């Protein structure tokens, strides 16, 4: 690259930052824990040799089976039998019968699977002060009106490796069709260590499970009902274990980690007088110093990590 090209590239980068100061998580260069832009967007499936394999293929087979297009095993292999079912689906919906499963196919399948949910009686908007409670243990989202339960929805929460952020947050961003990875609606939360929100999904079978990268997934019909009820600033209380999915144990934490578990350790260290930094769920240098200080004061082996022994000493 010539000097002139480097200058032009730098100017272009500056313009992009000025025009788009809050890029989605997938576009940031810093690797942070978050619900990525394409977390619900499956890869495009095409006929190939050897055939494509994976959980997304198994999900496709399950949806086609539920709609009576596919009668084979849930093998997770995109072979001739599954391709034939996709072609039949495409033909009946006026699409090119090329066995290519792109976002349009995933979205149409999701809408058809959701029909029983979408067909339920619509509830009028709640009156009074609105709040949301998400129970990650029961995978339920409850809309509160003046402190009383008004409407409840089934949701999917974060997987053990990418848990949903437990804590008290607010809705700070709302969008319609905000990228293909979030279904039809997006309600962004002000979680300090990453980008998380409540959104729709193209994977309706995942609702009721631990399946996301940390966001709260809803059926598109459900989030479309919720969306006009909740203005920016609506409080969202996410309850459950800050250490992830119950029964999975605590993660070993080191500098650079982010999450509800880091947030809880920071709160505890601050309460005990070892940490004077910001409680933000980000394991930085200040927290590392506090960890070393706590370990030394409590007779733990010298280290800069939060391990099983330190969790026990903290009472966590």
Residues with a catalytic annotation lie at: 199, 215
CB 69 within 8 A of CB 85: yes
Between the alpha carbon of residue 26 and those of residues 9, 33, 126, 183, 284, the distances in Å are 21, 10, 35, 16, 22
CA-angle at 269, arms to 253 and 291, nearest 5°? 45
CB 268 within 8 A of CB 315: yes
Residue with tokens 């280290």: 303
Paired with 174 in beta bridges are 187
**Cβ partners under 8 Å of residue 181, min gap 6:** 36, 37, 38, 39, 40, 41
CB 301 within 8 A of CB 279: no
What DSSP character marks residue 246? T
Residue with tokens 């980690």: 257
Closest CA to 220 of 203, 242, 241, 197: 203
End-to-end CA distance of the chain: 53
Q: Which two tokens stand for residue 17?
A: 């930052």
What DSSP character marks residue 20? -
Q: How many CB atoms lie within 10 A of CB 7?
A: 10
Cα 202 to chain centroid, rounded:
13
Q: Which two tokens stand for residue 222?
A: 């459900």
Determine the 3-state secondary structure of 258 from DSSP: strand
């Amino acid at each position: 690259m010539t000097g002139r090209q480097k200058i032009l590239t730098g100017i272009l980068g500056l313009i992009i930052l000025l025009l788009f100061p809050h890029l989605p998580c997938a576009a940031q260069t810093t690797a942070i824990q978050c619900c990525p832009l394409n977390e619900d967007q499956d890869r495009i499936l095409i006929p190939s040799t050897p055939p494509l394999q994976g959980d997304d293929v198994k999900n496709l087979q399950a949806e086609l089976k539920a709609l009576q297009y596919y009668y084979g095993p849930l093998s997770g292999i995109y072979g001739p039998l599954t391709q034939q079912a996709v072609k039949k689906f495409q033909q009946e919906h006026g699409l090119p019968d090329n066995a290519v499963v792109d976002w349009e196919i995933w979205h149409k399948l999701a809408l058809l699977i959701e029909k029983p949910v979408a067909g339920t009686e619509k509830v009028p908007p709640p009156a009074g002060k609105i709040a949301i409670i998400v129970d990650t243990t029961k995978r339920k989202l409850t809309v509160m009106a003046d402190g009383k339960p008004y409407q409840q929805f089934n949701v999917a929460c974060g997987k053990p490796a990418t848990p949903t952020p437990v804590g008290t947050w607010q809705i700070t961003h709302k969008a319609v069709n905000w990228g293909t990875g979030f279904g039809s609606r997006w309600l962004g939360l002000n979680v300090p260590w990453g980008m998380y929100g409540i959104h729709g999904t193209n994977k309706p079978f995942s609702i009721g499970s631990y399946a996301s990268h940390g966001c709260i997934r809803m059926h598109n019909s459900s989030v479309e009902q919720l969306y006009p009820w909740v203005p920016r600033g609506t409080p969202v209380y996410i309850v459950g274990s800050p250490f992830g999915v119950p029964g999975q144990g605590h993660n070993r934490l080191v500098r650079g980690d982010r999450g509800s578990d880091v947030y809880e350790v920071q709160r505890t260290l601050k309460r005990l007088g070892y940490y004077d930094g910001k409680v933000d769920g980000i394991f930085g240098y200040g927290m590392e110093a506090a960890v070393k200080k706590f370990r030394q004061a409590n007779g733990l082996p010298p280290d800069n990590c939060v391990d099983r022994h330190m969790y026990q000493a903290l009472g966590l």
